[in-house]
Structures are given as C-alpha cells and as structure tokens.
Amino acid sequence: MSLAFGGFALLIFSGMPIVLALGVAALVTIVAFTDVPLTIIAQRVYGGVNSFPLMAIPFFVAAGLIMEAGGIARRFVELATALVGWITGSLFMVAIVTGTGLAAISGSGSADTAAISSILVPEMKKRRYNVDMAVSIIAASGSMASIIPPSIVMVVIAITSNQSIGAMFLGGIGPGILISASLLVGAWLYARNGGETYRDAEPFSLKRLWTVFVDAVPALFVPIIIVGGIVGGVFTATEAACIAVFVTLGISCFIYRELKLSELGPLILRTVSLSAAVLIIVSTASIFSWIIASLGVTRALDAWLRDVAASPFAFLLIVNLLLLVVGMFMESISAILILLPVLMPIAIGYGIDPVQFGVLTALNLSIGLITPPYGICLYVASMVAGRRIEQAASKVWLPLIPMIIVLLLTAFVPAVTLFLPNLVYR
C-alpha cells in the first residue's frame, strides 16, 4: 500500500494531473501486489460514478453558473451592501456576507469566488484597499460553499459514508454561520486598524435595504426551496439540484431578464466541462478506495491510531492535522474518496458521530481551498485580481485564524454540528 500512496504523491509533485496520478498509482499497485484482473479497473471506474445521488453534482454546478450569469449573484452583493455596507471595511463585509448567501445556492467554492471577485475586486482597487488582503478574504468567503448547504463536498461525503444528505446539510449550517461571523469580526478588526482607507462606509438606509431586499426576494427563495425540500423529505438531493437549475433559470430569464436563452449553450458546455472534471476524479479515486479496502489498510490504520491516540480527543487532533495538510495539496473530492472510507469507521469506533465527522472533514478541506500550494479559491481570486499567488498568500493568515478556531469548536463541541440534525432527524 505504501507503493500506491508513495507513487501517487510522487506523481502529484511531478506535476501530473491528479486524475492520471490516481489511475497510474492504482494500476501499478494492482499489477504489482494483487492477482486481480485488470478488468476490475474498468468496473471500478464505472461503479464509482454509477450513483443516482452523484447526479446532483452537475445540476448544482449548472445552478451556480446560471446564478453567476443571470444577475442573482449581483443582487446578493447589492443586498449585502445594504446590510453591512455601513460598517468599517465595508467591502470586506460585503464580500463575506455575499459569500455566505451564494454558498446557499451553488455549492461550488470556485464559482462563488469567481462571482464575488469579478464584482468587488475592481471597486476594492478603486478605493485603495489592500488587494492581497481582499483576495484572501474573498477566497475564504467563497470557500464557505463547502460547508453551507447545498454543498457538493457534503453530497460526496454523505454518499461515501452512507449518511443522510439532509442531516449532513443541516450539520454544516452551524459551522458555516460561525465561520461567516468570525470572518466578519476578523475583517472588521483589520479594517479598524487599517487607517482612513477602510472608513469609507456608506450611511445605513432602511429604505435602500427594503428596495434591494424586495429585488432579491426571488433569489432568496432558491436556498429555501433547496434545503427546505431536502430536509422536509419533499425531494432527494438530486431532485433538489434539478429544481435549483429550473428555479435559477426561471428567475434569471423571466424575472430579472438578464440571461437570454441563446446564452444557455455556452453555460451547458461549461457545466459539462466542470462536472466531467469532478466526476472523472470520483471514478478514478474509487479504484484507490477499493484498493484500501481490499488490502486491509483500514484495519492497519485503526490499530496504529489506537496505539498513538488513546482517546477521541487525541484522534481528532491527529485527523485534523492530517486533513489540513492533505487539503493543502489535494482536491477536496479526491481526498474524501481516498481518506474517508479509512477514517470514518475508525471515528465511529471512537464514538464520534458520523455527521459531525463528515462536517469536520468538509471544514478541514474547505480551509485547504485557501492555503497554498493547492488553494483553488485563492488561485481564482488572485487571477481575477491580477496578483501572484505568493502575494495573496502573505495575507491569508487573517481568514485562517477564525476558520481554525471554528474548526476546533466543531471538533470538540459536538453541539455546534449536531444541534440541527438532532432537532430534525432524532
């Protein structure tokens, strides 16, 4: 098994795309250490994506792209501006509140980051904000899509660990709200000590808030329909994703009228491209998961962890450190499909609730979206802002501090995650 992980790491560091690295490492391991026929690879690749719940991914991706192109994202920005634009460091606040709102629709951190960056970065530059700090805060705001439902990452975690998607979604609400609130506090403290540049807040206007709220009402119904329908048992996560596409499409085309039917072709092509990139990783990672299970890695790791981690507290500390490091180098869905089948049974053996552990996994990997060298949300925000990743990374400490604090609360205070799932399902 060390050959598989070692070969995979070597291929990743050599610059090979992760999907090829997964496939090649698995192929070499099967040939070298098992008598399994190579046809098993084709079977596992197909089996990895032969899942009805996974169909939610392309539909949530499509909903996010429609939201970005159809005026829904802009109205969230306008509503956030009316809500928090009067606070010191107003554009930081707007970015965080907008990220929280968009996360409740798209489920894609990179899509949310691109939408927020394209709207707010030009204005931040105009007002002479520190661009690198702006990039790091926007990236953190976009990364909340991995936690706040309907999260694509949560869908994969629920499917992989055989848990309720609705319960997993509800479990992410508490940590998501805490991250949003802590980012607001951290950004405000930075802006308060940042000089006159950040004291550009607009006066609060109840009239303006009401006007933009009324305009945003159709968009606000989208997360209510998605999450409410899943939690209420009206439809499954996949059906909710389909409904999200039709609702966002209807709002964008017939209410806001900012998306023309002739523009759907390029959006469909982008959806297919992004979804294929995710699902092909899922399919090749399933080979790795099968190897892990068939070679007894779970039992060996369980024995090792019980030797070094005498309590659930020690286990959670080790796992958090592991996942934080993995998130720095690996795409979230790949990490979930490789590690969660190993770690989840061990966590349950320690008496840790599987929903709590699933949310904790998502939170760890969402932090990886803003930490180099992988940090896809940081890359997207940097690219839009015209900054190098090294420049933006110098300011990533500000969002990291509150996110890690919430991570620790999620790990060691189960009620943060489990209050809502227990209220609804138990």
Tens-digit pLDDT profile for residues 351-400:
999 999 999 999 998 998 888 766 778 888 888 788 887 788 888 888 99
Packed helices 376-385 and 109-126: angle between N→C axes, nearest 10 degrees:
30
310: phi then psi, degrees, rounded to nearest 5: -80, -10
Tokens of 205: 């206007």
Residue 86 · residue 201 · CB < 8 Å: yes
- Residue showing tokens 């779970």: 298
Q: What is the pLDDT of residues 169-209, one digit of tens each?
A: 899 999 999 999 999 999 999 988 877 777 766 788 888 89
3-state helix, strand, coil in the chain (%, to 5): 80, 0, 20
Whether pLDDT at 254 is above 80: yes
Give the CA radius of gyration of the chain.
21
Residue 357 carries which side chain, given as an amino acid letter?
F
Tokens of 137: 């805060």
Q: What is the pLDDT of residue 309?
A: 74
Helices assigned H by DSSP within 251-396: 264-294, 297-308, 312-329, 332-349, 354-368, 376-385, 389-393
Whether pLDDT at 306 is above 80: no
Tokens of 40: 């098993």
| Contacts (Cβ under 8 Å, ≥6 apart) of 113 | 99, 138, 139, 141, 142, 143, 377, 380, 381
**Region of 145 on the Ramachandran plot (φ > 0 left; ψ -120 to 50 alpha; else beta):** alpha
- Residue 338 half-sphere exposure toward CB, CA atoms < 13 A: 26
Task: Name the pLDDT band for 297 (thresholds 50, 70, 90).
Answer: low
- Angstrom CA distances, 140 to 109, 214, 226, 271, stand at 9, 28, 23, 23
Distance CA 79, CA 94 (A): 9
Task: Name the pLDDT band for 96 (thresholds 50, 70, 90).
Answer: very high
Q: Which of 275, 273, 278, 245 is nearest to 259 (CA)?
A: 245
- Residue 113 half-sphere exposure toward CB, CA atoms < 13 A: 30
Whether pLDDT at 41 is above 70: yes
SS3 64: helix
Domain assignments of the chain as residue spans, ordered by start: 1-35, 51-425
Burial of 32 (0-12, 13-18, 19+ CB in 10 A): exposed
Distance CA 415, CA 358 (A): 14
Residue 282 carries which side chain, given as an amino acid letter?
V
Whether pLDDT at 27 is above 80: no
Residue 54 · residue 159 · CB < 8 Å: yes
Distance CA 298, CA 84 (A): 48
Distance CA 212, CA 80 (A): 9
pTM: 0.81
**Between 18 and 399, the higher pLDDT residue:** 399
Distance CA 426, CA 414 (A): 15
Q: What is the pLDDT of residue 120?
A: 85
